[in-house]
Amino acid sequence: MMAFREFLLHFMIIAVCGAEIVFKSPSMGEVVGPGSYKISARDSGIVPTLEQFDDASWEVVLFTGNDTVPVELFDYRLIGYKMSDPTTQSPPVNIRNYSAPSVENKFFFGYRSYLRSNESIWVTAYSDRFTLTNMTGNFSDEVVAANNKVDSMAAPYRTISCGAKSGRECDQKLLESLGLGAVTGDSASVSSTTAATATTDTTAATKTTDTTATTAITGSTAMNSNSAAGQVNTNTTSSKKTSGGMIAGVVVGAIAAVSITIAAAVFLLKRARKRRISKGEMVINDMSLTEEQKWTVTELMKWVEIIMVSWRCLGVRELHPHNHTVSARVES
């Protein structure tokens, strides 16, 4: 019974808090050194699904910072990469030892791609946090301050951004048809910032193209966020998560949890009445309960915990926007 309860707890949390991409590696707290690394991920089936992304635009981004202000360290462009196999691994991404210092549980990867139907809409899904060791880089005071706010190794929630590639504004009807809700960021300012990036440093743009062409064999291109090219800071917000699959999972999970809680409460009260123990005595005078009665009370409280965790998770995803700060610089 205990194992079954734990399974339902995890199932309900996944149904409410799932993302469109589930990272299998790096795992939470994993220790990773500089050099080649392959990321493993799968499709959770929550919109937008992998089929809705543009294969040619997949990127892997190495992040640090907190959930509100993730900071890009490196951007790896995955040339010719198709993430359609549920057990897929990315091409090797090269973690530069000078890109960051050795810090425990402050780094996470992001998979990022544009939608086929509208290149101005792009989605980033994040891995759990992991450790980088044997690194030689440094963090600015701002990044250190952002990391000081991190008290969890869990992945940040995915972000949905507009105007990132083509300069077009978000198509609200398209977002709603995909179950993504509304993106409340200022897409006009995002578009103008992106355009300014394209014209700020022609040399940098040329280097991006050349690097992409020369590294097509290896399958990834790195963009260093710590070199001397122009910087872009773009603030966007995540959308409300209102997909049909998520809503169905929430409804089914909530109904099941409430039903089981009610059944457990009725069972408990009947047992108490049979043994002539009042409700007040059961709750207050716990020392007088038998082991079997204590177990029943514990089970009831655990189901209450399941419901609270599920709804708390749903509330966080629905109500709290996540600013996405991008600092993109081209490696020289």
- Residue pLDDT, tens place only, 284-331: 334 444 555 545 555 555 555 555 544 444 443 333 333 333 333 333
pLDDT at 45 over 60: yes
Q: Which pLDDT value is given to residue 265?
A: 58
pLDDT at 155 over 90: yes
Q: Which pLDDT value is given to residue 231?
A: 30
Residue 301 vs residue 38, higher pLDDT = 38
Q: Which pLDDT value is given to residue 30?
A: 97
Q: Please say whether the beta carbons of 331 and 75 come within 8 A.
A: no
Q: What share of the chain is helix, strand, coil (3-state, %, to 5)?
A: 40, 20, 35
Q: Which pLDDT value is given to residue 44?
A: 77
> 294 is written with which tokens?
């204590």
Q: How far apart are CA 55 and CA 82, in angstroms?
A: 5
Q: How far apart are CA 110 and CA 328, in angstroms?
A: 14
- State pLDDT tens for residues 156-171: 988 887 765 555 566 6
- State pLDDT tens for residues 84-143: 654 567 788 999 999 999 999 999 999 988 888 777 788 889 999 999 999 999 999 999
**Every domain of the chain and the residues it spans:** 20-238
Q: Which pLDDT value is given to residue 256?
A: 60
Q: At what angle do helices 244-274 and 291-319 cross, to 10 degrees?
A: 160
For the ranges 14-23, 182-191, 280-289, the one whose mean pLDDT is highest: 14-23
Note the Cα 76 to chain centre separation in Å: 18
Q: Please say whether the beta carbons of 21 and 61 come within 8 A.
A: no
Q: How far apart are CA 179 and CA 243, in angstroms?
A: 4
Question: Is the peptide bond preceding residue 86 cis, with omega within 30 degrees of 0?
Answer: no
pLDDT band at 257 (very low <50, low <70, confident <90, very high): low
Question: Is the peptide bond preceding residue 321 cis, with omega within 30 degrees of 0?
Answer: no
The answer for residues whose C-beta is within 8 angstroms of residue 146's C-beta and 6 or more apart is 64, 65, 66, 69, 71
Question: pTM for the full model?
Answer: 0.53
